[in-house]
Structure 1
Amino acid sequence: MCAEKKKFILDLPLKIILTEEGTSHFLSHKKQLLNLKLADNRSAHGVSMTSFSPGSLQDMILLGYISKMEISMPEFVSHRQDVMDLSKLIVFSILYKQFDSEIYSAIIKCECIRHHNRQNPSSLIDEKTVIPEKQLRMTLSMKDSTIQAAKKTILEPVWKSIMSNSEYSPEEKNVYLLMTEKFLNRLTLMNWYIIVKFYKTDGFNEMLSILRQQLASYMTKSKVAEYISVMVMELALNSENNNVKKAAKYLYQGIDNSDTLIFDPKIRSEIVKELQRKHELVFLSWTLGGGSMSIGKQGLLQITLYNKDDEFQEVKENIESKMSANLNKKSLIDFYRQMPDGQEGTDLGLYYLSYLEDACKKVNIKFESIVNQSSSSDLTVINLKFNF
């Protein structure tokens, strides 16, 4: 188990598709946008980079500037940690946004705020309230001591509960301590404005209870980030190995067991170069629920993997001969079970998928996995859909 950011720089060829808010922000700062072509052959405006700061990327997600991200490479194994870190960062970003949204929706219903609204009808605090960021920053800049005192009041019993839980290992305790503080620190200015305004007033205990309960809930929910990152890597590596094996058979014809060649680092390197030259890549994308104006969709995430899979075609045709209607869509677990005999990674994939499904069920995250195959090509599209 680990927190969502480990490195200062991630070295990955990342394409970022912007939301309307993101596009407006970049254009207002005179940043040139590119017309990017994605794996599904669609084009959209965005930015492209070969390395980036995890913190800067997360800030863009939290501000609602990003609608989609995509990486494409011939091989993922040498970038394993970076890909997993990116996947966890994206999941944590969505959890932060969802946490903030749920906190606001809950605390504006507290009795102390209802009382305030009755007494101050000209300055209501509700779901329609908008206070300029500059004004919020100025107000909160003079309340730093209150913010720190409020954080301590909120966190102390949560941390005490973590430390006294005998089921957690010392490492897990440290991670949870850090995680709960991060969730609290990622609350938006509007939430902090409300917390500070009502701190130590009558009825603040109701707000305290909401904050602590949600922190405990999201601390548990955040475990899913690790499972998702492992599942994503399993899918990417499985597709990569398929491509490498196909290329080895083509490049080293006449050799009885060309599959063994891929374990030789020098030969594998040559095979990867050939895949790059022929543009036979594995594409991995993350589609976010929407920008800041996409009400009710902030908690949506779709992870998609695109790859050509010749060996699956035989299985696909066999299935089509036995089934009717919607033949090209199946669950990910069926996809693994129906792979040809001898396909490496099948058991491992089922193992990871089982853990991911169980973890999502335990914390009420809706999870759906679908595999599509185009009837006119050998393109396999795997979708992992989450609603946090």
Structure 2
Amino acid sequence: MSTTTAVGEKDPFVRLPARIIFTPRGLDLVGSSPSVKKVTSRDGLPKEGLESESYNAQTIQKLVMKSCIEEINVSLPDLLRKRFEIISTNNLIVYGVLYKKLTPSLARTLFESSVVKEYNRKNPKNSIVDLNHISPQKVEALQQNNPELIEGMKRNLREIITEKILGATSLNEEDQQARVRALPRFLDRVDPRIWFIFYVISHTGFKSAIERTFASMIYSYLQHTQIATHLSNLLMEFIQNAEKAHFERLIVRHGLADREAVDLFLRDAENRRKVTALAQKTMQMLELSWTMNPERNTIGQQYRILISISNYGLIDERLSQQLARKMKTNTDGISLASFYGSDEEDGKLGAGLGLLYNSYLEDICRQEGIQYRCNIYPEPKREKTTVRIDMTL
């Protein structure tokens, strides 16, 4: 498969060296590929998967949506230079789960809505109570014979929802733009059967009511995009802290600089290249992994994502407990700006912006009824310190 990209085209490949481990379902789908081999999981176990310097983003997202991927793990001497690729990977995983949950979530809300209940009351012979009761032949006929109608419905809803997003004073500009960008992709992933329901009901006296209901449903579901935004921010903050602790350990152990001079040492690009090469030579790697195991970790329509960031070096029990308490600090009313220029010591896991992003995520997940935990702990057997973010969408 060629990975050449023409000038001006978006590169479909994410240039992040990674091991991709498949679930049993994934192996049924791709197991015959000669690229599939034994690769090492985050826990050091041999698993069936792929190892590559890059991967096709669209293909991986489709595999996530089909519950075919158990884990994506990365092991590199440094991670910050791969910031864009890490955020892209995190987003495609989170959005893949959100796309997967979109149809059941919309269907549940739709069938519980007053407009569908009223339509069913007035049309008992043609009542709509379940997606599986809708004729596939009728859905296919609508798609083939009137594709412009579906595109017109999407376009109209996109205008209504975009106006609502941009008029929401409770949203900051970053969240507004994230939702506006995500909106067309979510509309394109709405199940054709749901568009069929919209079409049928909109051709009755319930046109404006079903339009309002649809716009409200999609607008509400787009709130989940905040999770991807803040999760990526939190992830990169923890990676920055882990990389600094990782480099500091190497620099001090190999006598490249005193602990107090580490920051100054790392500001020099050549020094940074030296310590990165040293990490590579001594196999002292930073580890990052996303685990999504539907067979063991998924219940019903809930999907669990486990993210781990590990660096060599252990924190003691006292510091572990101190950081655990810090993660629970009340940050109500604290803005991002208040963390710039802080006197707090740099590079400590759970400090600074990481604390604030963690608090934001906790608040968002609490409001949305999403299970969320973030822990920092030592792994003595691996001689590492690990941050673990655990989220069930």
Question: Contact 1:17 / 1:68 at 8 angstroms: preserved in 2?
Answer: yes
Unaligned residue ranges in structure 2 (runs of 5+): 1-9, 330-343
Q: Counterpart amino acid of 2:327?
A: I
Shift of the 268–93 alpha-carbon distance from structure 1 to 2, 3 Å rule, reads same
Q: Which residues of structure 1 form unaligned runs of 5+? A: 1-5, 321-326, 336-340
Aligned to 2:229: 226
Residue in structure 2 matched with residue 52 of structure 1 by the alignment: 55
* Residue of structure 2 aligned with 1:333, choices 314, 318, 327: 327
Alignment size in residue pairs = 363
Whether the 8 Å CA contact 1:288–1:298 is kept in 2: the answer is: no
Contact 2:20-2:50 at 8 Å conserved across structures: yes
Cα displacement (A) at 1:304:
1.6
CA contact (8 A) 2:14 2:54 kept: yes
Q: 1:334 deviation in Å?
A: 6.9
Q: Is it true that 1:287 corresponds to 2:281 in the alignment?
A: no
Q: What percent identity do the matched residue pairs reach?
A: 19
SS at match of 2:43: coil
Q: Deviations over 1:99-153 (max 9, x none)?
A: 22201233355438867996479xx963666988x99667623331221132234
Q: Where do 1:1-388 residues align within 5 Å?
A: 8-27=12-31, 30-108=33-111, 110-111=116-117, 119=125, 126=130, 140-165=143-168, 175-196=178-199, 198-201=201-204, 207-252=210-255, 257-259=260-262, 260-288=264-292, 290=294, 296-310=300-314, 312=315, 315-316=316-317, 318=318, 330=324, 333=327, 342=345, 344-345=347-348, 346-374=351-379, 376-388=381-393
Q: Measure how far apart 1:71 and its partner are.
A: 1.5
Q: Answer yes or no: is the 8 Å Cα contact 1:368–1:385 preserved in 2.
A: yes
3-state SS in 2 of match to 1:39: coil
Displacement of 1:376 in angstroms is 4.3
Q: Residues 355 and 240 of structure 1: is their aligned pair in 2 closer, same or farther, counting only changes over 3 Å?
A: same
Cα distance per residue 1:308-339 (max 9 Å; x no partner): 223x1xx32x479xxxxxx899577279xxxx
Change (3 A) 1:87 1:256: closer
Could you tell me how far apart the structure 1 residues matched to 2:124 and 2:224 are? Answer: 36
Q: In 2, are the aligned partners of 1:332 and 1:382 still within 8 Å (CA)? A: no
CA distance in 1 between partners of 2:171 and 2:40 (Å)? 46
Cα separation, 1, equivalents of 2:37 and 2:23: 14
Could you report, residue by residue, the CA deviation over 1:259-297 in whole angstroms, capped at 9, with x for unpaired residues?
132222112211111111222112111123628x95524
TM-score by length of 2: 0.77
Q: Which moved more, 1:375-384 or 1:31-40?
A: 375-384
- Matched AA of 2:62: D
Q: Give the whole-Å Cα distance in 2 for the aligned partners of 1:166 and 1:377.
A: 48
Q: Closer, same or farther in 2 for the Cα pair 1:161/1:349, shift >3 Å?
A: closer
With 208-217 and 81-90 compared, the bigger mean Cα shift is at 208-217
